[in-house]
Structure 1
C-alpha cells in the first residue's frame, strides 16, 4: 500500500509516493538523472517496504508529477535542495525514527554529498553511482560519433543561450545509439527500457532532458565529498559499468570512512537485471543493520564486503 503525498522545496511542490512502514526506518529514494520515481524506484521500494521499512520516493522539481518550470530542466543545486526537503519531510512522518537515502546513476553521486552534510541521515546507498562526471564523460565520448557529439554540444550551447531570454528548453534523449544526439550512447545505456520499463507500464515517463542540463552533469564531481561522509554508506558498483564507471566509485569507497562495497558483474543496470536479487538482498541486509535496529535481515544471508 502506498499513498500520494507532496512536500515543498524552494516554493515548488514535489510529488512523492509514501509507503508506510512498521520498523521505524524510512528510505528516501529517487530514480536516475531525469528518471521519474515509478520506473526508477518501484521495484526496490516495494521490496524495502515488504521488509518493514517506510519509503518516500519522489520526483525532483520540473520532472514527473512534481511542479516546476521549465519542464525537463535538471539543476543540480535545486535537486539537492529537493533531497534536503524530502529528508526533512520523511523524518517528520508518523512512526519514522531513522532515515536512509538511496539513488542510482548521477543522483547516486548526490548520495555522497548529502551523506557528508549534517542532515540526520542514518545510512545511505549509492547504486551504480556517477561520482566523477569529467572522467565518466571522457569515457562516454568513446561511444559517440564526432558529428553527433558536436550536435549535442551545439544544442547545449543554444539551449543555455535560450534560457537567458526565457525560451523553452531544447531537449535531448536520455539514451540513444551512437550517432544520435543523446545524453548517453554507451552500450549499457541501450538497456534503459529493458531495465526500467520492460512492460511499458510507465508511458508518462518522458525520457528526455533539457540540453542546458548536460554541461553541469558532465562537470559534477561528488567523489570529493567521500572523506567527509558522516554515516554508513553502501556502494553498489557494477564491474562492467560504462555509463557511470566502476573504478571511480571503488576509489571513492576506499576514501569513505564507514563504507561498504558490493561489486556485481554486469553493466550500469545490472541491479535491475541479472544482479537484482543479489543487490536487493544486500541492500536489505545493510538497511536492517543500520536503520531498523535489528541485527540481521531475515531474507538476506549475504552482506556486502567492507571497503573501508
Structure 2
C-alpha cells in the first residue's frame, strides 16, 4: 500500500537475530509497537493502521518476526512461540530507545494470533502502557474446533499428517514442509474459514506486497492449533482494548470475550462483520476506537488515575 508518511527502515536484535522494522517518528512522545497476524509481514499487516496512528502523532515501530519477511532467521517460514515472544520483548525495548519516545508511553498492537500473543507479552512486560488486541486468537479447544469445522475431513487429516511429517523432518535437518495460510474447503491449508479467504483482499488488495509469502511451516501451524495465550489474561496489569468482530469465524469471538472479562483492565469493543472487517468496511470505526483508547492511555496526563470503563 503506498504511503506518503515519513518512515525509515530500522533493525534491532532479538535472540541474536536481526529483526527489521518500519519506524514512524513520534510527535506526541508515545509509540505503538506493531506486528502482523500469523505469517503476515509488516507491510500488509500494519500499514493501514500505522499510517493513521502516525498522522495522529503517535510513533510506530512495525516489525517482522524472525523467519518471515525482511527479518533474519533460518529456516524460513517457521513460527515458534518462544521466539515470537522474545521478538515482542526486543521490539518494545528497542522502541524505548527511539528519539522522542517516552519509555512509559509504549503500547503494543496486534491482530489475530499476534493479538493473542499480546496477553502473554503484557503479562511479562510491566512497563507496557497499553495493548490493542484486534480480533485476537486466544486459543482453546472450542476456538480450534470452531475454525476446523469449515474444513473437509480428508484435507484436515492431510494437514495433521503434514504437520507431523514436518516436525519429524526438522529433527533430521530437512527443510520445512509448507502449507498455505488459507484456502477454500477441500484444499490443504492452515485455515479454510470463509473469512480467512478475505486475507489477500483485506491486507494486500493491489497485490503489491510480493515479500509476503502466504504460507507457513506445517509444524508451526499444527503447534499453534493448541496454543492458548489467553490463559495469561488475569496477570495483565495495563489497559487492554479487545476488539472483536461478531461474525468472526477465524478468531472465535466468544473465546475472546471470555478472555477480555478475565483481563483486569480490559475495554471491549464489538464490531459487526467478519475477521478482517477492521481492515475493510469497519476500518474507520476501528481506527476511531483505537485512537481514542491510545490517546486516553498514552497521551492524556491523567491516564494513571482513570479506571477502565465497564465491558459492554
TM-score between both structures, scaled by the size of structure 1: 0.95
Deviations 1:125-158 (A, max 9, x none): 0000001243222112211111100110111011
Is residue 25 of structure 1 aligned with residue 34 of structure 2?
A: no
Shift of 1:216: 1.8
- SS at 1:289's partner residue? helix
Give 4+ residue runs of structure 1 displaced > 6 Å after superposition. none
Structure-2 separation of matches of 1:194 and 1:118: 34
Is residue 306 of structure 1 aligned with residue 310 of structure 2?
A: yes
Taking a change above 3 Å as real, the CA distance of residues 269 and 305 of structure 1, as seen in their structure-2 partners, is farther
Deviations 1:162-193 (A, max 9, x none): 00011100000000000111110001001011
CA contact (8 A) 1:133 1:217 kept: no
- Indicate which of 40, 48, 59 corresponds to 1:35: 40
The runs of 5 or more residues in structure 2 that have no matched partner are 1-5
- Indicate which of 199, 217, 221 corresponds to 1:192: 199
Is residue 182 of structure 1 aligned with residue 186 of structure 2?
A: no
Give the corresponding residue for 2:138.
Answer: 131
- SS at 1:195's partner residue? helix
CA contact (8 A) 1:22 1:52 kept: yes
Is residue 70 of structure 1 aligned with residue 75 of structure 2?
A: yes
Q: How many residues align?
A: 301
- Indicate which of 125, 150, 154 corresponds to 1:147: 154
CA contact (8 A) 1:72 1:210 kept: yes
CA contact (8 A) 1:262 1:305 kept: no
Give the 5 Å matches for 1:40-189: 40-97=45-102, 98-189=105-196
Give the corresponding residue for 2:289.
Answer: 282
Give the corresponding residue for 2:230.
Answer: 223
TM-score between both structures, scaled by the size of structure 2: 0.94
The runs of 5 or more residues in structure 1 that have no matched partner are 297-303
| Segment drifting more, 74-83 vs 130-139 | 130-139
Structure-1 separation of matches of 2:12 and 2:46: 18
- SS at 1:143's partner residue? coil
- SS at 2:161's partner residue? helix
CA RMSD of aligned residues (A): 1.4
Give the corresponding residue for 1:299.
Answer: none
Give the corresponding residue for 2:277.
Answer: 270
- SS at 1:129's partner residue? coil
Structure-2 separation of matches of 1:128 and 1:305: 19
Structure-2 separation of matches of 1:214 and 1:25: 34
CA contact (8 A) 1:116 1:230 kept: yes
Shift of 1:305: 6.4
Structure-1 separation of matches of 2:88 and 2:170: 24
CA contact (8 A) 2:89 2:125 kept: no
